[in-house]
Amino acid sequence: MAVSEAPHNLSDVVIANASVVHRNLSSPVLYEHAVRRGEGKLLQGGTFAVASGERTGRSPDDKFVVRTPEISEHVWWGKHNQPMTVDTFERVRGRILKYFKDRELYLQDCVVSQDPDHRRTVRVVSEQAYHSLFARTMFIPSKPLPEGQSPQLTILHAPFLRLEGETDGINSDAVVALNLTEGVILIAGTAYAGEMKKSVFTAMNYYLPLDGILSLHSAANVNPKTGQSALFFGLSGTGKTTLSTDPERLLIGDDEHAWTENGIFNIEGGCYAKVIRLSAEAEPDIFETTHLFGTILENVVFDEHERHVDLDDDSLTENTRGSYPLNSLANVYQQEVAPHPSHVILLTADAFGVLPPLAKLSTPQSLYHFLSGYTSKLAGTELGITQPKPNFSPCYGAPFMALNPTVYAELLQERLDQTGAQTWLVNTGWTGGPYGVGNRIAIQETRKMVRAILNDAFYGATFRHDDTFNVDVPVACPGVDQKLLDPRAMWANPADYDKAAADLAAQFRANFEQFRSLVSPEVAVAGP
């Protein structure tokens, strides 16, 4: 689907009215500008530390999609894609253009999608060097567009413009507004850099599937010896970045991918990893990036005098982040398109301690769990949550899905049928009891299970059927205590396990009612 040019060529309007426009500065120069302007501080090793202010994460209540006739029938309207009128969008755009007048601005031309057949141009215009550096890090730097040529996506980024909520037709003093017809994204009132990344991902989750390409909130890596690839789905806190960044494999990317008839490719050019309580022992490759030039550390606490970071300090936020180019890592896949995955891994962190740590899924079961997108919210992660709470996020990324989740599920079925890839459900959460009673499964044990999957260790293996969750669980896994594979055996009181497992299974069924009439009979009965 083509993206129309923005009226009046937005870039020309901005450039003509700004006092200074710094176009396509390199990363080292952007570092210099950001430090000179007091946007952040250089730390030991050359990393750059910044603070995003009062908003230290995405603002889902402030995200809107402009409802136009061209897209109205396609978009998954609701809490994740709130409709905005064209008039409101024009009002906000006018506010930003007026705000940009006579300011020093930074313009960065990039592209998204490593596969050149599906590449789109992105232009980011911001008032901060730090955000221009972030765009250059997370997207793919490109040659400047010829003068007068409009990019396919334009981001106008005004983090310090405070809007007026109801007066401006929005919910607060901040907004993230996507006009998918024009290919224009407006971000104002929030300096959290992840809004840029995820707004572009939302746009790609609209454009790509309408061209028959499955876009995925997933990580991906490749076995350098066999060339076999794997996909890792998972919400925040499930281990997607940690498990895919494996020194034994080549990382394709940690968050955003697409799957075509020819293979898989990364949409981005960088990683945006959570770094809270990161350790050299558990995550050596990612830990190393927190000490390298080229990494942006967002909302990470550091010593002002020694300029050392404290990755365990969550006083600013639990959502501390590190943004770094893919090539900062030692083991990175260098080709633009990787082979089809042999294995697809669905990650969850079950805080109730009842899901098996490893289960093999049929295709209908894969689609059921893909549409469910289950993990747990923990006590303390959100105001008012005092006990673990089930969190169902379709496609393992509902906030970024522009289309109905069944569109992505249908494309996933096509790819699974085409390739014969095997799907697995891996629980990285608790065992022996719920959060607060049991223990979280050690990352080293989960790595053993994942490596067994990727090394095809379960071909010909013996499985037992878990009647409560309707999945097949291997009886043994190389290097893993057999008892760990049976969550019921890990509980002190099996009757307590049975009740907790039945309760979670019932919540799966209740959540799936929204999709039951939209899927095949095989998928409808494939869950717990």
Q: What is the 3-state secondary structure (H, E, C) of 426-458?
A: EECCEECCCCCCCEECCHHHHHHHHHHHHCCCC
Residue 378 is predicted with a pLDDT of 64
CB 174 within 8 A of CB 191: no
In a domain, 282, yes or no: no
| Euclidean distance between CA atoms 238 and 219, whole angstroms | 12
Catalytic residue from among 58, 80, 249, 257: 58
Annotation marks residue 58 as catalytic:
yes
In a domain, 230, yes or no: no
In a domain, 291, yes or no: no
Question: Residue 476 burial (CB < 10 Å; 0-12/13-18/19+)?
Answer: middle
Annotation marks residue 406 as catalytic:
no
Q: CATH number of the domain that 180 lies in?
A: 3.40.449.10
Annotation marks residue 132 as catalytic:
no
What average pLDDT is seen over the chain? 93
Catalytic residue from among 62, 255, 350, 466: 255
**What average pLDDT does range 273-280 have in this prediction?**
90
Helices and strands (H and E) in the chain: how many: 13, 28
Considering the domain architecture, whether residues 16 and 155 belong to the same structural domain is answered as yes
In a domain, 273, yes or no: no
Catalytic residue from among 241, 317, 323, 393: 241
Catalytic residue from among 198, 340, 343, 415: 198
Catalytic residue from among 131, 217, 257, 448: 217
Annotation marks residue 255 as catalytic:
yes
Residue 351 confidence (pLDDT) above 60: yes
Task: Please say which residue of 191, 210, 229 terminates a domain.
Answer: 210
Between 11 and 396, residue with greater pLDDT: 396
Annotation marks residue 241 as catalytic:
yes
In a domain, 232, yes or no: no
The lowest-confidence range among 7-16, 212-221, 262-271, 511-520 is 7-16
Residue 346 β-bridge partners: 233, 425
In a domain, 502, yes or no: yes
Determine phi and psi for 480, rounding to 5 degrees. Answer: -115, 135
**Total domain count, the chain:** 2
408 by DSSP, 3-state: which?
A: helix
Residue 344 β-bridge partners: 231, 423
CB 105 within 8 A of CB 97: no
Residue 386 is predicted with a pLDDT of 52
Structure tokens at 30: 């952007």
Q: CATH number of the domain that 449 lies in?
A: 3.90.228.20
Cα distance from N-terminal residue to C-terminal residue, the chain = 38
Residue 7 is predicted with a pLDDT of 45
In a domain, 141, yes or no: yes
Residue 6 is predicted with a pLDDT of 45
- Domain assignment of residue 464, given as a range: 340-524
- CA distance readout (Å), 47 to 301, 328, 332, 523: 13, 12, 20, 47
Residue 45 confidence (pLDDT) above 60: yes
> pLDDT tens digits, residue range 107-132?
999 999 999 999 999 999 999 999 99
Which H or E run contains 392? strand 389-392
Task: Please say which residue of 158, 176, 210 terminates a domain.
Answer: 210
Residue 352 is predicted with a pLDDT of 95
Residue 387 is predicted with a pLDDT of 65
In a domain, 497, yes or no: yes
> pLDDT tens digits, residue range 391-406?
999 999 999 999 999 9
With CA atoms as reference, report the closest residue to 123 among 182, 136, 114, 115.
136
Annotation marks residue 225 as catalytic:
no
CB 245 within 8 A of CB 423: no
> pLDDT tens digits, residue range 452-488?
999 999 999 999 999 999 999 999 999 999 999 999 9
Residue 370 confidence (pLDDT) above 90: yes
Task: Please say which residue of 210, 235, 270 terminates a domain.
Answer: 210
Considering the domain architecture, whether residues 201 and 350 belong to the same structural domain is answered as no
Q: Are strands 63-66 and 48-50 parallel, antiparallel or unpaired?
A: unpaired
SS3 content of the chain, % helix, strand, coil (to 5): 30, 25, 45
